[in-house]
Chains A and B, each alone.
Chain A
């Protein structure tokens, strides 16, 4: 059985090997970009078309969820979290197309996304609080907690990566084992379960990113009335 930790290389771009997942990601980028361009080309406040109504429903859903977590106006992090969720949902569900392997099922894509979230948390935190108060918040209860707080920053990003990778990869692995064992029809209920797993993992990844950003930016809003 092939190892799930290495991804097959399709072609070489000069000295750089291009893996199968990278090609799938390019496809998803094109689909999402074209979809976003085409669905927002003819917007109208008076007479929204069907496409506009559907896109607005998705937007309102995302905004409500983020507002519920942050307990404040989502404003500036909505584009980031929304893009993350839409990309993850499409990427997780792309394994339903025959012959396409979900890019999130190999460890590089979740790693890249978790790294983006890691830097975004610090970016929003520093921008909201300023550099020195943000750095001081790591030693918040006392200086003894400093190494633990720094460690938790790293481990939670690692957990974010491993959770997405583990769920998507193990699901594909189980379907592969079932196909080799019993053949054609039995894996179908498991593939239906895969739709649920993919959407829930995209939701959890986006919600956890929101929670992390909220935790990095929130302390000031709580502390500001006192100072």
Chain B
């Protein structure tokens, strides 16, 4: 198997795992925030701001995987 084929497969694996796990954890974060807003609608502003910051933190992991995949596909130092 050449380096190029290997890096295509590795990019796919990186993006798939990097999508599954952050998606699950973002779902849990949003569900918890929804529950909190349903109990205390008055604090919805603070909750949603904190939720956005937290979601951005979780999402960073997914985007790291995306960037690794892009580097593998477009700027791979080992292919050629």
Contacts and interface: CB of A to CB of B under 8 A. Distances in A.
Interface in B12-71: 45-46, 49, 52-53, 56, 59-60, 63-64, 66-67, 70-71
B1 interface: no
B74 interface: yes
A81 to B, nearest CB: 14
Nearest to A164: B63
Contact of A204 (B46, B56, B67, B75): B56
Given A159-B60, A163-B60, A65 B49 contact: yes
A3 B63 contact: no
Interface string A141-172: 00000000000000000010011011100100
A138 interface: no
B70 A5 contact: yes
Contacts of A163: 56, 59-60, 63
A207 interface: yes
B53 A211 contact: yes
Contacts of A29: none
A208 B56 contact: yes
Interface string A189-217: 00000000000100110011001000000
A186 interface: no
Q: Which of B49, B63, B64 has the most CB of A within 10 A?
A: B63
A171 to B, nearest CB: 11
A125 B71 CA distance: 35
A4 interface: yes
B49 A68 contact: yes
Interface string A72-111: 0000000000000000000000000000000000000000
Contact of A207 (B45, B52, B70, B74): B52
A65 B46 CA distance: 9
A69 interface: yes
Contacts of B60: 159, 162-163
Contacts of A165: 67
Contacts of A170: 63, 66
B63 A204 contact: no
A167 B70 contact: no
A206 to B, nearest CB: 11
A207 B49 contact: yes
Interface of B: 45-46, 49, 52-53, 56, 59-60, 63-64, 66-67, 70-71, 74-75
